Structure 1
Amino acid sequence: MKKQLTFALASALTVSTVLAGCGNDEKKASDAKAKEGGPSGEQVLNLLEASEIPTMDTVLATDAVSFNVMTNTMEGLYVLGKDDKPMPGAAESYAASEDGKKYTFKLRKDAKWSNGDPVTAKDFVYAWKRAVDKATAAEYAYIMFDVKNAEKINKGELPADQLGIKAVDDYTLEVELERPVPYFISLISFSTFYPQDEKFVKAQGDKFGLEASTTVYNGPFVLSEWKHEQSFQLKKNDSYWDQTNVKLSTINFNIVKDVATGVNLFETKEVDRAGLTAEFVDKYKSTPEFVTKQDPSVFFVRMNEKNKALANKNIRKAIMTGFDKEGIANVLLNNGSIAAGGLVPKDFVSGPDKKDFRAENGDLAKTNVKKAKELFEAGKKELGVDTIQLELLNFDSESAKKIGEYLKEQLEKNLPGLTITIKQQPFAQKLKLETNGQYDLSFAGWGPDYPDPMTFVDMFVTNGAHNQMGYSNAKYDELIQKGKTDMTDLKARWNNLLEAENILFEDAAIAPVYQRGRAFLQKEYVKGIVEHNFGGDFSFKWAYVQK
């Protein structure tokens, strides 16, 4: 988280500020708060989401939709605040050893689960062991491999009780690492590191995390209602230790897949935040409610090398360089997105020399139609074929459909002999097909889970949980392993990660498309939504309505 992304350009926020039911005294108090700059009116926020929640099991989640809901209903040892600075969550404080390999966390004694159970150190021990247990088959188990023995446990070489985590007592937790990790406190804000109530999880069995009632919460909100593929609702968690700082009483989500519907809701004053693309940007960009933001999420085309044609490097290189990325970003999307020059996004992280990763490596997948045609012809000759047919797996939103059709038109025109069919699927089903390798090409996205290039480049190690396309390069694996295990020379580590990304594109493992921008309309009375560059996209703990 980041996480596998849904194509969520239709996402929007809407706020209900109806004052029905307020007495005169309440209204006067509300008006006074408004003048002071605080919350006023009914604290109900309504949002649109583009996809169904795949799971609420923090150990099994792999996607942005799940992580966004978990960020607001659950809480780890530390959480992300404004400007992505880690701040105390279930833990009050921590102490680190001089060598940076041992952390001792003091948990707060007033933290509770929504069922009334206390949140204790044992809840973290249970969840972390469950995440790395080979039998759990958690795709995100690898994100815990900095914890002592986690990788060996996940490979089945050691039992789970050898994991470097220990409940000294109910409110003291010790964590041992394999190596110092400079961003460890930011890392543990990620959902896979959240605690779980063992008694509750075991009582739910295989239903845990699949319904609102079969999940328990320790964050600012609870998932109070979940109508699959239609809507879901969050309510303020009265058991939350910091509930006095949570202003919203209710957050309603409705699943809407197209931009035009969101814009229409905005215009009819039912929606207070609506995502925009293309012609809508041109229509609204001069209005005071128009906002654009850069996003460190990258969309790309996966190429499954289990397909005979895509196992050929020339065919992959032809696809990677054979379509107009600028056209997709600047014309088709027109929302602040930019053409992607690699896997690690622009303006995300800088190295020891303060140089931006993307700026250092440059554009590794420049469009070159003439060269792409030559590569495609060479690939066909090597394969002994005149034509190639491929299927493009895609999201089922309106905007994703437009991008899929554009890619098909560009590649079929620029690479004679290529035929592409498009298979649009709901988000959860698309993730399942990717995980099972049941696709040829797949339009996919990835956002960062923590502030380091590794959150992108380690996806494609041989047999990696998020590789999902049969890619393998021994040198690439070696460089990633060095980047994970050797923090003694940060400049050398940075250079290794730069080289690894270069190898990825020399092999044409993926075809980068664009780095996402967000263009949207927002009413001025929506306040306090905190947006994150990694982990869950939004925190609503500090959000409120002022009208």
Structure 2
Amino acid sequence: MKAKKLRRICAVALTLALGMSVFAGCQSKQEESRKLIYNLGEDPETIDPTLNTSSGSGSVIDNAFEGLMRLDENEKAVPGVAESYEVSDDNLVYTFKLRKDAKWSDGEPVTAKDFEYSWIRAISKETAAEYNYQLFYIKNAQKFNEGTATREDVGIEVVDDHTLKVTLEAPTAYFLELTTFTTYMPLREDIVSSDPEGWALDPETYVSNGPFKLAQWDMKDQLVFEKNENYWNKDDIKLPGVVYKLVTDQNTAYASLKSGEFDMVDTVPPSEIESGQAEGLVTIHPNLGTYMVVFNVGKQSTLSEDAKKVLSNAKVRKALSIAIDREGIVNEVTKAKQTPAYAFVPEGILNAEGEDFADRKYYDANKPNIEEAKKLLAEAGYPNGEGIPTLEFMYNTEGSHNLVAQVIQQDWAKIGVNVELTNQEWKVFLNTRQQGGYQIARHGWLGDYVDPMTFLDLWVTGGGNNDAGYSNPKYDELVNGAKVEADVNKRWDMMKQAEDILMEDMPIIPLYFYNKTTGAKPEVKGVRVSMLGHVYFDKAYIEESK
């Protein structure tokens, strides 16, 4: 959920700012008297930075908190709470100097201890943070999580209130970008430890250090954020606040935008994209992410023996993959100019020579191959799908996921595989998938930074976000080796080999590379939509004609 230009891996800056010109001849002014009303969609799973795994919730957190570094409009890490930093000659030790005017929303100073507490909380086993692996780049962080190292062994040192020294396991080109990620945000120990389960639900205790602070949370209705007058850069914040509405039906939300009730919506119904673009209401933003289907291949304790046997067969999974009409999905269902996915790692991650990591096509993503799919099923022992029980495909209720699921259901029926569709509300869906209470499920992943590793380390054995339960020792070896490989060319090749293994095993079916569609009134200015899917309001304002 964060991005940047790496030392040897760069990406085209795809961040866009929303805005339309006002009518010719009209003078305009900045309206600072009202909050921007933005429809987020589903109720956040959590807005605890340590526990969050969702890009939607991440956008909320990004506007409430600030890390040592933050991302600018070009997805580069620039000073946030840290006003400066130094890196040792061996690229292993980072020393951050914190701003002395950085404060929490209650006026208390932000200190190095706040970062230390947050990071140790994230890697503590009892916290069970799914994103704890994002801090395993820090020396002995993983060993501490596993119980084989002490707190004193971890490479996090508070030198003084305004100096934090971090020692890494190995040189990590994108470490500064990692410090912009939600799991790296600071937290107040006195606040969180007093109510670990409830502090992030109550505006009185949701103390943050970013541009906005939580004022009200009406579950399934709205979150109201106000400008944080104690934010060190408060003079540059133009909005008095942001209201996150929680209307899950895209059509209802878009109608509220057109009627003037909402200023901006996070997603647009596929049927409204073309006309909305013509009206100047809809913008399509490139995203670094992949929409996919995930198989339960390793968390199967609740599955029947027949389902286990089918889902554990790679030939069956490959057959189901090549039977899907990806081009039909992006042209007829999603309609946001997405690219049918021919690999897992999406387009847009370049090396120093300008080569895109996504330069290999593992199958023809532009048309289904029914005959080859049937052949694979027969080789797997299921000719024409005979012997395969009716499988269950689970998706979350919000958005157009049901339409995508229906296409998949129809495509699989063509090769003799029947699927029952089920859906769950977002929070329940995430928990069910994470716990392994499914057979096949809808999935999607947006990069947390601009490097193939943000996608590939998702599937290492035992990974916090490895909802497939996938495990391959050779894959683990390549991914973990690439994390510490100093030679950028060898590292690049190791990651390519890892993706080769993943696509051969096929625990997932990549469907398309994401785009993000947002809708906004023409007078909404300065909202930044990151290529990693986050929406920033720190430079936003509402311009109204006189």
TM over 0.5: yes
What TM-score do you get using the length of structure 2 for normalisation?
0.90
* 1:332 has 2:333 as partner: yes
- Contact persistence 2:377–2:385 (CA under 8 A): no
Structure 1 residues 288, 202: CA separation in 2 closer, same or farther (over 3 Å shift)? closer
- Contact persistence 1:48–1:256 (CA under 8 A): yes
- Contact persistence 2:18–2:528 (CA under 8 A): no
* 1:209 has 2:206 as partner: no
Q: Secondary structure at the match of 1:302?
A: strand
**250, 275, 287: which one aligns with 1:283:** 275
Match for residue 305 of structure 2?
none
Match for residue 361 of structure 2?
362
Match for residue 297 of structure 1?
289
Q: Secondary structure at the match of 1:257?
A: coil
Match for residue 524 of structure 1?
522
Deviation of 1:398 (Å): 4.3
- Greater shift in the superposed pair: 302-311 or 118-127: 302-311
**41, 49, 53: which one aligns with 1:62:** 53
Match for residue 82 of structure 1?
73
Match for residue 407 of structure 1?
408
* 1:125 has 2:116 as partner: yes
Structure 1 residues 297, 384: CA separation in 2 closer, same or farther (over 3 Å shift)? closer
Matches within 5 A, 1:136-147: 136-147=127-138
Match for residue 480 of structure 2?
481
**530, 534, 539: which one aligns with 2:536:** 539
Match for residue 451 of structure 2?
452
CA distance in 2, matches of 1:469, 1:256: 30
Structure 1 residues 206, 263: CA separation in 2 closer, same or farther (over 3 Å shift)? closer
Structure 1 residues 383, 432: CA separation in 2 closer, same or farther (over 3 Å shift)? farther
- Contact persistence 1:342–1:365 (CA under 8 A): no
CA distance in 2, matches of 1:103, 1:14: 35
- Contact persistence 1:74–1:220 (CA under 8 A): yes
Q: Secondary structure at the match of 2:351?
A: coil
- Contact persistence 1:276–1:335 (CA under 8 A): no
Deviation of 1:185 (Å): 1.0
CA distance in 2, matches of 1:276, 1:125: 40
* 1:375 has 2:376 as partner: yes
Match for residue 222 of structure 1?
213
Q: Secondary structure at the match of 1:354?
A: coil
Matches within 5 A, 1:98-497: 98-274=89-265, 275-305=267-297, 306=300, 307-347=308-348, 349-358=349-358, 360-364=359-363, 366=365, 367-381=368-382, 386-412=387-413, 414-416=414-416, 418-487=417-486, 489-497=487-495
- Contact persistence 1:393–1:425 (CA under 8 A): yes
- Contact persistence 1:60–1:140 (CA under 8 A): yes
CA distance in 2, matches of 1:390, 1:207: 38
CA distance in 1, matches of 2:254, 2:226: 26
Q: Secondary structure at the match of 2:104?
A: coil
CA distance in 2, matches of 1:242, 1:284: 35
Deviations 1:351-400 (A, max 9, x none): 23211111x22344643211111212332449996232211110112411
Deviations 1:14-37 (A, max 9, x none): 99xxxxxxxxxxxxxxxxxx95x7
- What is the RMSD computed on CA atoms of the aligned residues? 2.2
- Greater shift in the superposed pair: 521-530 or 448-457: 521-530
- Contact persistence 2:18–2:527 (CA under 8 A): no
* 1:508 has 2:522 as partner: no
Structure 1 residues 133, 361: CA separation in 2 closer, same or farther (over 3 Å shift)? same
Deviations 1:56-99 (A, max 9, x none): 22111111122111100011101112111222111110011111
Q: Which runs of 5+ in 2 are unaligned?
A: 4-16, 20-25, 301-307
CA distance in 2, matches of 1:14, 1:361: 33
CA distance in 2, matches of 1:166, 1:338: 45
Structure 1 residues 211, 385: CA separation in 2 closer, same or farther (over 3 Å shift)? farther
Q: Secondary structure at the match of 1:84?
A: coil
- Greater shift in the superposed pair: 469-478 or 70-79: 469-478
Deviation of 1:38 (Å): 6.4
Q: Secondary structure at the match of 2:427?
A: helix
The residue type paired with residue 459 of structure 2 is F
Deviation of 1:290 (Å): 3.8
Structure 1 residues 168, 263: CA separation in 2 closer, same or farther (over 3 Å shift)? same
- Contact persistence 1:112–1:218 (CA under 8 A): yes
- Contact persistence 2:295–2:507 (CA under 8 A): yes
Deviation of 1:309 (Å): 1.2
Over the matched positions of the two proteins, sequence identity in percent amounts to: 34
Structure 1 residues 491, 332: CA separation in 2 closer, same or farther (over 3 Å shift)? same
Deviation of 1:230 (Å): 1.9
Match for residue 25 of structure 1?
none
Matches within 5 A, 1:32-47: 39-47=30-38
Structure 1 residues 243, 139: CA separation in 2 closer, same or farther (over 3 Å shift)? same
Structure 1 residues 382, 415: CA separation in 2 closer, same or farther (over 3 Å shift)? closer
The residue type paired with residue 355 of structure 2 is K
Count how many residue pairs are aligned between Structure 1 and Structure 2.
513
CA distance in 1, matches of 2:168, 2:386: 52
Structure 1 residues 224, 503: CA separation in 2 closer, same or farther (over 3 Å shift)? same
Match for residue 23 of structure 1?
none
- Contact persistence 2:310–2:388 (CA under 8 A): no
- Contact persistence 1:90–1:107 (CA under 8 A): yes
- Contact persistence 1:2–1:448 (CA under 8 A): yes
- Greater shift in the superposed pair: 247-256 or 279-288: 279-288
Q: Secondary structure at the match of 2:333?
A: helix
- Contact persistence 1:330–1:338 (CA under 8 A): no
Q: Secondary structure at the match of 2:31?
A: coil
Deviation of 1:419 (Å): 1.9
CA distance in 2, matches of 1:520, 1:120: 37
Q: Secondary structure at the match of 1:331?
A: helix
Q: Which runs of 5+ in 1 are unaligned?
A: 4-12, 16-33
- Contact persistence 1:361–1:502 (CA under 8 A): no
CA distance in 1, matches of 2:202, 2:411: 42
